[in-house]
């Protein structure tokens, strides 16, 4: 099940950040700011294991003039079961409701799994940003236009 995150999810989301995003993980403080965003442009969702209720995935998106997908992750134990696709569908639904026509994101060029995931969901490369990440890795900027499409 996908639902909006609350402060009760803070520890679980902070753990997902560390486990799944490694050197790029947000601190618990940043996760808390995202969950409690006072400008209401940042949205945080979690994916629950339907059997145990455990929080096993999360996504964060800023919905402004474009929608920027800032984080998406699923626990290693629960990958390839469609949870990230369900999280992305929620991001797309929220963007469409806000009248936003494009979702953009950056991904490390060495993250083959994530690149395959985004390509499977219709994202195309817009640009490359050399040295974007702290360890010097290049970022690939991907985008998906929503106009005239259905949430997937
Ligand atoms: C990328 C990530 C979020 C995908 O999560 P997921 O829940 O496993 O994705 P889904 O099950 O919804 O995958 C949907 C489709 O995307 C593609 N896909 C997903 N992961 C893939 C992988 N590792 N290799 C190849 N294709 C992949 C497949 O087409 C898949 O469909 P299939 O399983 O029927 O073949 C997950 O691997 C992850 O958390 N990675 C670490 C964090 C990360 O890199 N996040 C992105 C940062 S930009």
Can you give the pLDDT at residue 148? 57
Q: Which residue has a Cα nearest atom 24 of ligand 1?
A: 113
Query: How confident is the prediction for the chain on average, in pLDDT?
Result: 95
Can you give the pLDDT at residue 151? 46
Asked if the model's pLDDT at residue 84 lies above 60, the reply is: yes
CB distance 89 to 152 below 8 Å: yes
> pLDDT digits over 17-47, tens only?
999 999 899 999 999 999 998 778 999 999 9
Ligand 1, pocket residues at CB < 6 Å: 20-21, 72-74, 79-85, 107, 111, 113-114, 116-117, 120
CB distance 5 to 44 below 8 Å: yes
Ligand 1 centroid–CA 39 distance in Å is 30
Q: Indicate whether this model's pTM tops 0.85.
A: yes
Can you give the pLDDT at residue 85? 98
Q: Which residues contact 56 (CB under 8 A, 6 or more apart)?
A: 16, 47, 48, 49, 74, 75, 77, 78, 83
> pLDDT digits over 43-60, tens only?
999 999 999 999 999 999
């Amino acid at each position: 099940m996908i639902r909006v995150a609350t402060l009760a999810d803070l520890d679980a989301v902070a753990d997902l950040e560390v486990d799944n995003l490694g050197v790029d993980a947000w601190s618990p403080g940043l996760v808390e700011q995202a969950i409690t965003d006072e400008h209401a442009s940042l949205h945080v969702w979690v994916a629950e294991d339907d059997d145990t209720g455990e929080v096993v995935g999360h996504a964060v998106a800023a919905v402004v003039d474009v929608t920027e997908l800032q984080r998406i992750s699923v626990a290693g134990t629960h990958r390839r079961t469609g949870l990230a696709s369900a999280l992305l569908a929620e991001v797309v639904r929220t963007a469409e409701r806000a009248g936003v026509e494009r979702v953009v994101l950056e991904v490390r060029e060495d993250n083959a799994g994530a690149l395959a995931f985004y390509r499977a969901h219709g994202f195309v490369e817009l640009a490359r940003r050399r040295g974007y990440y702290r360890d010097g890795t290049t970022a690939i900027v991907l985008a998906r236009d929503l106009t005239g499409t259905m949430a997937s």
